[in-house]
Amino acid sequence: MYGELPRDIGQLRSLDALDLSRNQFFGNIPSSLSQVHELSYLNLSFNNFSGRIPTGTQLQSFTASSYEGNPLLYGLPLTHTPSIVVENEEDEKYGHDNFWISYYMGMGIGFAVGFWGTCGAIFLNRRCRHLLFASLSLSKDWICVTVVVLFRKLKRFYAHQRP
């Protein structure tokens, strides 16, 4: 088997034993696994798990052999730290989507500030409102004149093309 462990694996509250050794699982060990208090046997060895082992009395009560063979895994009960720490603790705590959440929130806030800043200036400032409507009127007039001139040129061009 391969892939990431589901984040909601901790909902299996009455799970007694879990042996996922010698597979190709990767990513973090979900923090919800520390909420399975009935777990008496755990073996996650020889996979590609990375990051810190979730803290809590449950997962630290197993021996280091339950986690061996995962070179990027660290934290108690393991005594070593990996040479490269892939993710920081905040990413583990809140999930991998932290970057995208802050990115989209920043975009939303930027849009709201820009939109309401522009609309507020238009609605509250008479000179700004006058400037906007005057420029829209000029743009409308320019477009109308340009279209009429183009149609006249096309009409003249096709009038000369007829035999």
Q: CATH number of the domain that 35 lies in?
A: 3.80.10.10
DSSP reduced 3-state for 72: strand
pLDDT at 57 over 70: no
> Whose CA is closest to 46, among 17, 66, 60?
66
Apex CA 9: angle with CA 99 and CA 72, to 5°? 60
Can you give the residue range of the structural domain that contains 130?
99-161
More confident position, 111 or 56: 111
Token duo for residue 159 = 């009038």
Please tell me what DSSP assigns to residue 31. G
Predicted confidence band of residue 33 (pLDDT cuts 50, 70, 90): confident
pLDDT at 2 over 90: no
50 and 103 both lie in a single domain: no
108 and 153 both lie in a single domain: yes
Question: What pLDDT score was predicted for residue 90?
Answer: 52
**The domain boundary residue, chosen from 71, 94, 117:** 94
Predicted confidence band of residue 112 (pLDDT cuts 50, 70, 90): very high
Token duo for residue 110 = 């930027």
17 and 88 both lie in a single domain: yes
> Whose CA is closest to 131, among 113, 117, 118?
118
154 and 89 both lie in a single domain: no
More confident position, 148 or 79: 148
What is the number of domains present in the chain? 2
Structure-token match 């009429």, residue found: 148
Greatest mean pLDDT range, 14-23, 59-68, 116-125, 140-149: 140-149
Q: 72-109, pLDDT tens digit by residue?
A: 888 888 877 665 554 555 555 555 567 788 889 999 99
10 and 78 both lie in a single domain: yes
